[in-house]
Amino acid sequence: MTHDGDPLPPDRSAHDGPHLPADVRLVRTTPWFDQRTRPVGLLRTHRIAAEVWGRLVVAEGSLVLVFEDDGTRRHLTTGDAAVIPPERPHHVELDGPLRFAVEFHSPG
């Protein structure tokens, strides 16, 4: 759940990319972002910290998750989620109106 209590949708698209390891647990979830409130840093190359896994969840609309090390582009739409491994360079491209959040998972 996000800090505001909205449940996150299940990961419908996990078969298309990396999976969360079985030994990680949810430690934090960002607030819901939209095309106006998204942090600008998400639009340029960044990485999640060592040993921390991300899960990008799209509640409404669509975006593209780009893994910069191999050029993989994942188009995510309403109800989709994608796992982001630790330290893997990536950014997001927004397609218009949307609502999304990022979960952070650590060994635990």
Tens digits of residue pLDDT in 41-97:
999 999 999 999 999 999 999 999 999 999 999 999 999 999 999 999 999 999 899
CB atoms within 10 A of CB 60: 13
Mean pLDDT value across residues 92-106: 97
Minimum mean pLDDT range among 5-9, 13-17, 36-40, 49-53 = 5-9
Domain that holds residue 33: 14-107
Q: What is the pTM of this model?
A: 0.85
Maximum pairwise Cα distance, the chain: 36
Residue 7 within any structural domain of the chain: no
Q: What is the CATH number of the domain that holds 77?
A: 2.60.120.10
What is the four-CA torsion angle of 43, 48, 49, 53, rounded to 10 degrees? 160
Q: Please tell me the total count of domains within the chain.
A: 1
